[in-house]
A and B are shown apart, each in its own frame.
Chain A
């Protein structure tokens, strides 16, 4: 089942997520990207109800962009996290979004940071975070091997350890994962870890 996790390294932050779109007992898709690039230096990994996830992350992305257009300066990662929490918290007592979010970003002044925001809108700044069934394995793995001063190579190795553990120990393990990174040069896709490809569809 859904696994989203992330960590902060020396001068970067990483978010990884599975890429399965599941409904009931069926896997509809194995290349669904659940990590949105919010703006040039922010990543938003989200899990939860599929529709809410797509709707809410896009809503946040567009509002962060709007702020930048209006004010000429981008929101800091902390500001974006607090804005996201605010939106989730107001929705909570009306029509809640079922989305759990890991927000990672890089700011010139504060360096890399990572925020945990769950669907009831609890916000907390962390060095490592995980959501979903994969969290039991990812959190244990990261508790054992994480260091605050990790290089990109060491961090990716740790992410791969987490993915391997999820794939080998979780009954309903997703086959494919995407890893994204954010550092001073911006937010970007880093790699895919695929064990199956979507079957090509014959032309109609």
Chain B
């Protein structure tokens, strides 16, 4: 079994009209044993920039701590928040530093850029960026997430419809994956506000 599938995770981000949503499951497992059902996989970098980390939990925690450190240094030096594009390049560089002994994690970056233009992007564990205009997925449930997103996604959705779509895509996908689930965690970000919602899901 792959080291990326050791803890289990499901991550997805979607773009709407001047907004985006990022969602994850709650499970932390060790192979088939569930350790916790309240494990956060999405981190807030600043109010308009979110980072999801799928894959090996320990590397996700280490990588998150390093990225927060680097972002804080940037804030001090530049006296402003990082743009999502810049942050994606930072994540990519930090990952590639460990080219021959990588962090076993797949990041999803979602943010509002200049002029509140939504930006989403994912990467492999060595920092190869993959930009998308519609949606990105990661984690053990990524295969079923691709299917769900492919059939449910529509361009230019309003925030409420976007929330419904990403939630349904996540919940239906994790039911086909043994290693993720136990409910969902959704952030819905518009230029004016950030909404955090907790989803209940199947617990088996």
Q: Which residues of A contact B (CB under 8 A)?
A: 85, 89, 92-93, 116, 118, 120-124, 126, 129, 135-136, 139
Contact = CB atoms under 8 A, between A and B. Distances in A.
Interface of B: 7, 28, 30, 33, 35-36, 39, 56-58, 61-62, 101
Nearest 8 Cβ contacts at the A-B interface: A122-B57, A121-B58, A122-B58, A120-B58, A124-B36, A89-B62, A126-B36, A124-B28
A85 B61 contact: yes
Contacts of B28: 122, 124
Given A93-B101, A121-B62, 7 more contacts: A89-B62, A118-B30, A120-B56, A124-B35, A126-B35, A129-B35, A135-B33
B58 A92 contact: yes
B36 A89 contact: no
B35 A116 contact: yes
B58 A89 contact: yes
A93 B98 CA distance: 11
B57 to A, nearest CB: 4
Nearest to A135: B33
A26 B61 CA distance: 38
B77 to A, nearest CB: 25
Contacts of B33: 135-136, 139
Nearest to A121: B58
Nearest to B57: A122
Interface centre among B28, B36, B56 (most CB of A within 10 A): B36
A131 to B, nearest CB: 10
A136 B34 CA distance: 11
Interface centre among A93, A120, A126 (most CB of B within 10 A): A120
Contacts of A136: 33
17 contacts: A89-B61, A89-B62, A92-B58, A93-B101, A118-B58, A120-B56, A121-B58, A121-B62, A122-B7, A122-B58, A122-B61, A124-B28, A124-B35, A124-B36, A129-B35, A136-B33, A139-B33
Given A93-B101, A118-B30, A123 B35 contact: no
Nearest to B3: A120
A85 B59 CA distance: 11
Contacts of B57: 122
Contacts of A122: 7, 28, 57-58, 61
Contact of B36 (A92, A93, A116, A121): A116
Nearest to A85: B61
Nearest to B28: A124
A136 B35 CA distance: 11
Contacts of B61: 85, 89, 121-123
